[in-house]
Structure 1
């Protein structure tokens, strides 16, 4: 499944924040898992850029509302982060370079002032989410892909290696020969970057099935 939202309306509201996105995603996911079979299905998330922050907040928010989302959270086995700014970004353009670059860096999302400030290095919001996620994500299988190429017009990576990694023992960090925009875009199923991502996804699934005693279907 893929999850999207109206980026124009969300990111143009002054009071919009990551908590709103996480809350909406939790409710949408719960609504899709109504049958007994779906409720037993394990979950692996693939998140690009701000989507990784939303995922971490989703886990935190879910634990805060454990009576509603506890069973769902127990089915999360792993996550793949693609250029997620775990420690923010120190690039000045988040505030000053303009909406054209910001849209390119966030796959077309229009960002507001509050969210731009939240994405500063070691911002209070990112610290709060990371601290809360730390004690809840220790059992996940984590893969963190970081970009190694500059975007057109910039002389640096949008989310550098240090920011794109959690630095946890249950995390494997992987360099991706791509920029912030195309780190989640692939030319075909034979694209080496795609093959690497799928391989890591299958590793998470294999580890999940080994842990649960399930046999993998051919």
Structure 2
């Protein structure tokens, strides 16, 4: 039986006695809700930093990952960024209701989608192609050929992620007016792809360019920049950025 897509998976439940804090990790194209954040050592030992490392740094936080169908090829879903974004927000709203995170507030309003926006304090990006990636053009062509063979259309995500695509520009236009409401940190990849010989997402695309955004180069390729093992020094600036983002823009440092 196939696993359901569009789910929030709780990796670390909230702890009583701590201020309520939800952290939601969302993987990228062809990613996996756990594997995208899991490092594997030479001895075969795995470390899923969201579950194995982050709880010690941010005690009390509820940590979740969002699972959705982001396959570039053979995806069973014809939907793209916007549809999955709505599903994520609704799933988060339902989790918040189930765990009574608003128990201390008054009863003037119900915990709904609007409140998710109001309660969000910050966003941390890892190699996110805000302006797309030239590699998506080639990937669209290749997967288009494969999709024709297997009888399924190319992923909507690929179409959106092409550099300066209409869909991507629309998403950026929608987000920029509200970006000022959130603390934002963006990590961009340092090392080129071993096969392609260049960066998957250039710094110019991975950085939004808003005045209050924290930016930092992260060691690793596009796929390894978000995988940290124990004693990995790269993890330190990551958890600190998440902690600052959780405080909101006013208390976040700016660069």
Q: Distance in 2 between matches of 1:191 and 1:88?
A: 29
* 1:94 paired to 2:157: no
Size of the aligned set, in residue pairs, is 174
Structure 1 unaligned segments of length 5 or more: list them.
Answer: 42-66, 100-110, 212-218
Deviations along 1:63-85, one digit per CA (max 9) or x if unpaired, are: xxxx9411121100000000100
TM-score normalized by the length of structure 2: 0.60
Would the aligned equivalents of 2:190 and 2:218 in 1 still touch at CA under 8 Å? Answer: yes
Give the superposed CA RMSD. Answer: 3.0
Report 1:31-70 matches (<5 A).
Answer: 31-34=94-97, 38-39=101-102, 68-70=112-114
* 1:149 paired to 2:191: yes
CA shift at 1:158, angstroms? 0.5
Structure number with higher relative contact order (C-alpha < 8 Å, ≥ 6 residues apart):
2
Q: Distance in 2 between matches of 1:134 and 1:126?
A: 12
Would the aligned equivalents of 1:146 and 1:174 in 2 still touch at CA under 8 Å? Answer: yes
CA radius of gyration, larger in = 2
- Matched with 2:86 is 23
* 1:203 paired to 2:244: yes
Provide runs of 4+ in structure 1 moved above 6 Å: none
Alignment equivalent of 1:81, drawn from 122, 125, 128? 125
For the residue of structure 2 that corresponds to 1:125, the secondary structure is helix
Report 1:145-184 matches (<5 A).
Answer: 145-184=187-226
TM-score normalized by the length of structure 1: 0.70
Structure 2 unaligned segments of length 5 or more: list them.
Answer: 1-63, 105-110, 145-152
For the residue of structure 1 that corresponds to 2:245, the secondary structure is helix
